[in-house]
């Protein structure tokens, strides 16, 4: 897992280089087709990447985006009106039976279908109209890291191809930002010792970074066996705040931008409750207000933050698992490919 985390900058760089022309061609085709709905279908870490994709695509293109409920297709056999829709399946392996069934059904219902996968010869690639590939090589650890960020990057590239004017961020800087995030490894190694006996926690993010709260929580659950709930900073105040007591661990993503103020308001409330707070941020005020902080470079703006900001979360989970004497590459009861319907 640690090796694959370290491979991410190179994998992201290669994905940009290998997929740029294809994504631009796909964007031109979809604009000509006048797509007015995008549906994303995924499970696990891929579903978290899709959640990020939803925020990014809606903000940059203005096209409504829905996260599909696979059982609507696989169990209820619903027929959808998708003649002007783009349906994107997101799967590391390309072998998820439910994801592929949704793509088949969507195509039968008139949708244009795209697969985002790490496996060029997978079943998914034979179903969809176009395939976008991650170029990080085979992922051996059960816990997804480089495929999660690879999926996110492909959403950046697709958003850029679909957006008009300057709406989409310049994603070319992301591999370098990711490389700088890896420099936090030793800082995080020292931090995790405090959390070796943690059994429960909450992970918080909002807006474009919201999906990272889901992804870091998933990594803590599957590699460290910690019960990790995830919330937006807004939703957390609508009830879940009641479970916080003295020393309760809360992890927060607080990049610069539109959502920083609301996250800082939550941090202040957590300080009043004497929670144990760890924030990933470039904001010095937010860092000082928390029990501990992972300080990020200030030049990473809100739109480019999701990929470099999840890398400290990945490192935290992998290093905490190691400190607990667990093997993050082979979590109990899990396999790399899950085939559900």
What percentage of the chain reaches a pLDDT higher than 90? 84
**Residue 336 reports pLDDT greater than 60:** no
**Residue 190 reports pLDDT greater than 70:** yes
Per residue in 156-186, pLDDT tens?
999 999 997 666 778 999 999 999 999 999 9
pLDDT band at 74 (very low <50, low <70, confident <90, very high): confident
Q: How many CB atoms lie within 10 A of CB 176?
A: 14
pLDDT of 165 reads 66
pLDDT of 78 reads 87
Q: Which residues contact 25 (CB under 8 A, 6 or more apart)?
A: none
Q: What is the mean pLDDT of residues 251-272?
A: 94
Q: How many CB atoms lie within 10 A of CB 138?
A: 9
pLDDT band at 241 (very low <50, low <70, confident <90, very high): confident
pLDDT band at 338 (very low <50, low <70, confident <90, very high): low
Per residue in 96-147, pLDDT tens?
999 999 999 999 999 999 999 999 999 999 999 999 999 989 989 889 999 9
Domains and CATH numbers, the chain: 2-168 (3.40.50.10490), 177-323 (3.40.50.10490)
More confident residue, 3 or 170: 3
Mean of per-residue pLDDT scores for the chain: 93
pLDDT of 268 reads 93
pLDDT of 335 reads 55
pLDDT of 341 reads 66
pLDDT of 334 reads 54
**Residue 61 reports pLDDT greater than 90:** yes
Q: What is the mean pLDDT of residues 207-232?
A: 96
More confident residue, 46 or 169: 46
Per residue in 311-325, pLDDT tens?
999 999 999 999 999
pLDDT of 211 reads 98
Total-model pTM: 0.94
**Residue 23 reports pLDDT greater than 80:** yes
**Residue 340 reports pLDDT greater than 70:** no
**Residue 20 reports pLDDT greater than 60:** yes
d(CA 1, CA 305): 22
pLDDT of 26 reads 96
């Amino acid at each position: 897992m640690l090796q694959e985390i370290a491979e991410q900058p190179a994998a992201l760089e290669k994905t940009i280089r290998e997929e740029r022309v294809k994504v631009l061609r796909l964007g031109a085709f979809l604009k000509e087709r006048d797509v007015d709905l995008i549906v994303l279908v995924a499970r696990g870490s891929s579903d978290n990447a899709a959640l990020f994709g939803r925020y990014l695509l809606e903000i940059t293109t203005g096209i409504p985006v829905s996260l599909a409920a696979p059982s609507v297709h696989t169990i209820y056999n619903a027929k959808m009106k998708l003649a002007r829709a783009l349906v994107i399946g997101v799967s590391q392996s390309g072998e998820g039976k439910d994801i592929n069934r949704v793509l088949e059904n969507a195509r039968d219902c008139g949708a244009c279908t795209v697969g985002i996968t790490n496996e060029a010869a997978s079943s998914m690639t034979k179903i969809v109209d176009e395939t976008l590939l991650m170029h990080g090589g085979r992922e051996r650890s059960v816990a997804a890291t480089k495929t999660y960020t690879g999926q996110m990057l492909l959403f950046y590239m697709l958003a850029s191809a679909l957006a008009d004017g300057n709406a989409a961020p310049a994603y070319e800087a992301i591999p370098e930002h990711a490389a700088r995030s890896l420099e936090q490894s030793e800082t995080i190694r020292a931090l995790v010792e405090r959390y070796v006996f943690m059994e429960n926690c909450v992970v918080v993010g909002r807006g474009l970074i919201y999906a990272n709260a889901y992804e870091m929580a998933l990594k803590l659950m599957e590699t460290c066996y910690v019960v990790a709930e995830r919330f937006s900073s807004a939703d957390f105040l609508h009830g879940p705040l009641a479970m916080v007591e003295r020393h309760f661990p809360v992890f927060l993503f607080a990049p610069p931008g539109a959502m920083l103020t609301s996250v800082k308001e939550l941090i202040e409330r957590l300080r009043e409750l004497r929670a144990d707070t760890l924030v990933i941020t470039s904001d010095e005020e937010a860092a000082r207000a928390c029990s501990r902080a992972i300080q990020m470079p200030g030049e990473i703006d809100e739109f480019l933050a999701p990929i470099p900001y999840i890398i400290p979360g990945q490192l935290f989970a992998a290093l905490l698992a190691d400190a607990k004497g667990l093997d993050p590459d082979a979590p109990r009861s899990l396999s790399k490919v899950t085939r559900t319907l």
